[in-house]
Structure 1
Amino acid sequence: MKVPMLDLTEQYQNLKEEIHTAMEDVMSKAHFILGQNVKDLEASVAEYSNAKHGIGVANGSDALNISILGLEIGPDDEVIVPSFTFFATAGAVARTGATPVFVDIDPKTYNIDPEKIEAAITPKTKAIIPVHLYGQMADMDRIKEIADKHNIAIIEDAAQAIGSTYKRKKVGELGTTACYSFFPTKNLGAYGDAGMIITSDDEVGERMRVLRVHGSKPKYYHHVLGYNSRLDELQAAILNVKFKHLDDWSDQRRENAYYYNELLNKELSDIVVTPYEEEFNHHVYHQYTIRVPKRDELQAHLKEQGVATMIYYPQPLHLQPVFKELGFKEGDLPETEKAAKEAISLPMFPELTREQQEYVVANIKEFYKG
């Protein structure tokens, strides 16, 4: 059996007619930049996030970058970030001229450890970027308490977490801004690059709207250096179709995660550490990530059996060559470094079948106990 990491073909076939109609509507109206589809999606996602403003941008990385600039963070400033995350989190900070300050993670959730944040704060600290990794929100009460105490902003990196909740609060309710990615592999994915920023701060929201169009307001009058970063109208049309199904897809992901848990904990609980979900969180399982010994050998075995897996992330950001001047060394963030050696993500998508999951787990069992 072949089990892909992600299969979008069935989803496309189910929505094919509606998506083609939406795309043809855009083509017939010939309004391709910041049209009605973008406005509709911005309004829908903002309302879904219990926030006032949605600002559509070209991708999730730009959402982070424009959020940082929208909060007027730049050279000589510092932003606290986890090291166990995709490069864009820290790359966006560095690209503005600010300095990413890496802290360790909670080993159970893989999210930034709030108890490590305060020691990293200096007079230069202007923001914290908690990453809601794999689809589970970070400990936002504690993070907000620290941010409020030190008068610093919170930028939620929610690239993997649309639809997740923390104590019944949505992504975007507890941060100054929140950043979504609609990359095709995400829970709500476009057919190309796309992203969005969420905020309830009117001033920050307006500043970010200006930044996404070369810093111009009105057109051709530029008071700041901005970007050419606009959510494409065709992508917005596709996302408007798919958005209506997001909660159902999230529920299916959760059901798949629980079935993996049942299978893995039945006979492999002494070897495999299944995902930990805080009782007050609603995890949307963008990834189903386990911890295992001999991780790389297991990945090779599963590949031989036709099972795709991914390692998110094999090298922590604080040890990346591009950040060597920051002075971090191996051993500085032990939980991050341990997770980078043990974590592996199994196939996860709404249409994943029980038969496929059973095949995946049977081959994991074969590797460890065969």
Structure 2
Amino acid sequence: MSSTPTQQLSDAGVSIWLDDLSRTRLDTGTLQKLIDEKNVVGVTTNPSIFHAAITAGTDYDATIAAQAAAGASVEETIFEITTTDVADACDLFAPIAAATNGVDGRVSIEVDPRLAWDTAGTIAEAKHLYAKVNKDNVHIKIPATLEGLEAITATLAEGISVNVTLIFSLERYRAVINAFQSGLEQAKENGHDLSRIHSVASFFVSRVDSEIDKRLDAIGTDEAKALKGKAGVANARLAYQVYEELFSTERWAVLAEAGALPQRPLWASTGVKDPAYPDTLYVTELVAAGVVNTMPEKTLDATFDHGVVTGDTITGTYDEANETLNALEALGVSYNDVVTLLETEGLEKFVGSWKELLADVEGALATARKAS
């Protein structure tokens, strides 16, 4: 075929989003180039991405100096920087959003991760972010903690589109879909146009393999080693089975009749952590219609360069995926233990990145105040 692997992915029904954003990407045109050449139709961000962007160079020095002169706090300064970048990215993707009726062309911004266990705080922050960015194609990103589920429902009920993040377990994914459908039911009661409310559920992939492979190495048998690198894909494939199941119910049919669009599965953490695995593993093995794959640029480049797209690689694989997870349990690798740990570690990582960002920007503000 003459088309590129990323075009083939797009043709197979996979939306490619970039898992990165920075002022440099916006100002130099490199993000536009990825849209034009590599089929990128959206962007996701997280606290780690913003920390890397803001501390990488001098792009934000003028904004920080202006915020310092205005007497802004560190939280106000970060809020200004991140929402400005996201709003500008929303403008860049606006033509794609218009062409897809808002399904793609989305840009995600996450609530302060320190609020992950605070339902009311998350709802308030989601509204604040949405009002500040003030773009139809923004997604407010909310972690799928138990406390986050109620916040997801309440935010959607306000007519605000949501990216639910940090999902690792099939049980939690079911709860996320329930929270989504509850939110739409309330939004309908509140008089919102359901066709304008969009959502994705970010199901994390590579971190599942990283943790389970570590445990398989500790077991050390040939049987254990044969299961390495299989859990992440199996778990995600079973998530797609849950998606198919819960979006074919009578409850969903009522919402769809009212104009609602399904909450799409989004494959997150798709960069391969183990160099022994193909660098496109979590892309080519997770192809199905109606999914999003958000990739770091390294994974996007690898996919564009040598990804082999063979069509749908998910439907019809559910028995095999179940066998993989059952085999892991039989070896003593506890699925529930792994997914609980990964949620905790994921949140700790984002909180850690946010605290580092606060400290770095506080230092930059102090320097700017002295200079003035």
Taking structure 1 as the reference length, what is the TM-score of the superposition?
Answer: 0.35
| TM-score (norm: length of structure 2) | 0.35
